Amino acid sequence: MIGESEADMDRKQIDNVVCDWECLAIIAHRARAAGQRLVATSGAFDLFHDAHALYLEEAARYGDMLFVGVDSDDLVACYKGALRPICGQDVRLKVVAAQSSVDCAVIMHDWPAFIRLVSPQVVVVSPTTKVKDAFDRRLTIESAGAEMVSVSSRSVTHTSGLIKVILERYGPK
């Protein structure tokens, strides 16, 4: 990446929000160097709905730039089960990147590596983060020198609830 022009880097970005890990590192480094407060969060964002949008809006309020790791298909299947995600990672990434609150989004395979690369001042987590995950995440966050903030949902919508409604309405009778 060293010696690469800004035009080359910009061509690697899609819509100036979606990027690969190399661009993510450069964008985060430039933002930190400019004194901006970086916020990072992540999630599956499957069947994107109002709770997702509200969560990202709330996360963005903690800093100047919001970096979002969209969990890879393999990662989602590991913690949500073999039938998930419903929407593929590229679709989920585009939907997340389309949110005005998101400054940079990337497909994420490894959460600790994402946090180390962005090196944010604040990491926003969902209150639904499992206790063991919360402990592991706290260790990663503390070692990165960041603050962990848990943001409560302002919506009653959940992806699993949407799936249930779809199956009830359109599933086999």
Residues 6+ apart with CB under 8 A from 145: 119, 121
Q: How far apart, in whole angstroms, are the C-alpha atoms of residue 106 and residue 4? A: 20
> What is the model's pTM?
0.84
Domains and CATH numbers, the chain: 6-170 (3.40.50.620)
Tens digit of each residue's pLDDT (9 = 90 or more) over 76-103: 999 888 988 999 999 999 999 999 999 9
Q: How far apart, in whole angstroms, are the C-alpha atoms of residue 61 and residue 155? A: 17
Q: What share of the chain is helix, strand, coil (3-state, %, to 5)?
A: 45, 15, 35
Tens digit of each residue's pLDDT (9 = 90 or more) over 106-158: 999 998 999 999 999 999 988 776 545 666 777 788 888 889 898 877 666 67
Across the beta sheet with 147-150, what order do the strands follow?
Answer: 104-108, 65-71, 38-43, 122-125, 147-150
Q: How far apart, in whole angstroms, are the C-alpha atoms of residue 114 and residue 92? A: 17
Q: What is the DSSP letter of 72?
A: P
The structure tokens listed for 54 are: 């509200």
